[in-house]
Amino acid sequence: MASLDTIDNFIDGEFCTTDDYLESYDPSTGQVWAKVANSSPKDVDKAVQAAEKAFPLWSATSVDQRSKLLLKIADLIEARLDEFAEVESHDQGKPVALAKKIDIPRLVHNFRYFATYALHDVNSSSIQIDASATNYTVKCPVGVAGLISPWNLPLYLLSFKIAPALACGNTVVAKPSEMTSVSSRLLCRVFQEAGLPKGVVNIVYGYGWTAGQALVEHPRVPLISFTGGTATAEVIRKSAAHLNKKFSLELGGKNPAIIFEDCNFEKCVETTIRSSFINQGEVCLCTSRIFVQRGIYEKFLEAFVAKTRSLIVGDPKDANTFCGALISKQHRDKVIGFIDEAKKGGATLRCGHSVEPLELPDRCQNGYFVRPTVITDLPDTAPAMTDEIFGPVTCVVPFDDEEEVIARANSARYGLSATLWTENVSRVHRIAPKLDAGTVWVNCWLVRDLNMPFGGMKDSGTGREGGKYSTEFFTEEKTICIQH
Ligand code: NAD
């Protein structure tokens, strides 16, 4: 292990060693490529102490000053976009080209957006003439924010928490996923270079059940923003039930696409390919149940399967690669398990895993790759139709009418996003409000506006992020009533 790159915790503005390290794998080769601090509760406590110490100064820093620092951070990241994208791909398995186009630009955008949003976030006021009273509110930062993020969009999702937390005057202890910790070190270096005061952001690495759990259970961390799996959120909720913390929980999905006969067919097929398989299907918003109105079912399937077959799976470094490697061997085996189970249950595999061979360059022979797979002829109750697979697998089934498809789309335990394809505007207004989803995209997918609330219902989470929703979460709004 001696020659491996070592990722140390970032506490009080410095990188510091710990007693234990875990192995981080390059998903495209299956080789260990870094060792990452495996923090103990003692390390987490040290980070919380640093964040507490930095809080009085940071929370009293003017919004203008905080904003300037966040803008500087955005500029520094942007200047190193290529380096960030390469490390993010190496760590996560996604194509470098995708990280350059989506992950890192959105990381930059998150910092810029919240830096400038904070400048315009005004307080509300109300005058009661009868009571001779003037009321106004002040928004106070909450304190040390505990931020826990997953591995699929490592820096993009981490910054969607760090940027608003800082803009609102909180200090931070963040724990990225143990599987994708390396790229956040680049972020820590940018924080140092930008002159972010020591202790304002602290990053601890390690497993969820040790470092993550210690952060969740820390009595002096009053709010937790968590993005990850629904099962993990259940553990987190239970372990902090006695602590009365603020929680924001962004969880899993089983997102439907509903495609009507009157859709813009070409755009629909093209976008549904992206919504099913981008980032190897490892996006919480990816489509994994495609309901197609019976009149165009066969036509859709033929076009969709043909395009899926043409997607290039391979080396994330190759500019032509569409699907890179899945995050880990365990995750790849889980994804394949769903496909095999569907097949055993009588479903048809139209393309993908076990249908066409995987042709990989020598460098990637031991990587965790799965061909994009399309499954048909399965009931809505099959595990591939009900459970989050979180990989390049999607199921296509026919439907006949509106009421039926709404009920079937809503039958999942999740409620994160849905996609609706129709040129009939009345139908859009009839159906969209009835879908159990935090976001309904109509004739598009993943068009993100950070001013809008983002989050899920049912088992997809609690709370909303974005614009004023993030600032509400990261502040305590206090009413002050003065009688004169
Ligand atoms: P995960 O729940 O396994 O891990 C997420 C994070 O939580 C990691 O940092 C992990 O170390 C930590 N963790 C694990 N156990 C913990 C515990 N007991 N206490 C505190 N922290 C703990 O999720 P994952 O596998 O990293 O990510 C995939 C999941 O994330 C999928 O379900 C996906 O849908 C979801 N996700 C949701 C969104 C969203 O915005 N709704 C976005 C991305 C991913």
Q: What is the pLDDT of residues 284-297, one digit of tens each?
A: 999 999 999 999 99
pLDDT in tens, 307-350: 999 999 999 999 999 999 999 999 999 999 999 999 999 999 99
Q: What tokens does 88 get?
A: 């993010």
Contact (Cβ atoms closer than 8 angstroms) between residue 280 and residue 93: yes
Relative to the CA of 388, which ligand 1 atom is closest? 32
186-to-7, 94, 225, 288 alpha-carbon distances in Å: 10, 18, 22, 33
Predicted local distance difference test score (pLDDT) of residue 254: 98
Which residues of 312-427 form beta strands (DSSP E)? 348-351, 373-376, 393-399, 414-415, 417-421
Token digits for 15? Answer: 């990188």
pLDDT digits (tens, 9 = 90+) for 265-282: 999 999 999 999 999 999
Compute the distance from residue 415 Cα to the ligand 1 centre, in Å: 17
**d(Cα 175, Cα 248) in Å, to the nearest integer?**
15
Distance from C-alpha of 480 to C-alpha of 484, rounded to nearest angstrom: 13
Half-sphere exposure for 396 (CA within 13 Å, toward CB) = 27
Active site residues: 250
> Given phi > 0 = left and psi -120 to 50 = alpha, else beta, which region is 218?
beta
Dist. CA 187 → ligand 1 center (Å):
20
Q: Is the CB of 152 under 6 A from ligand 1?
A: yes
Contact call for residues 150 and 228 (beta carbons, < 8 A): yes
Query: Which is the closest atom of ligand 1 to the Cα of 252?
Result: 34
* Closest ligand 1 atom, residue 231 Cα: 2
pLDDT at 1: 42
Cβ of 12 less than 6 Å from ligand 1: no
Look at strands 21-26 and 31-37 and give their pairing. antiparallel
pLDDT digits (tens, 9 = 90+) for 226-256: 999 999 999 999 999 999 999 999 999 999 9
- Cα of 267 vs centre of ligand 1, distance in Å, is 32
pLDDT (0 to 100) of residue 121: 86
**2-36 as b/e, with b when 16 or more CB fall inside 10 Å?**
eeeeebbbbbbbebeebeebbebbbbbbbeebbbb
Ligand 1 atom 42, closest CA? 284
Question: Is 2 a residue whose pLDDT tops 70?
Answer: no
Torsion of CA 416, 405, 345, 323, to 10 degrees: -50
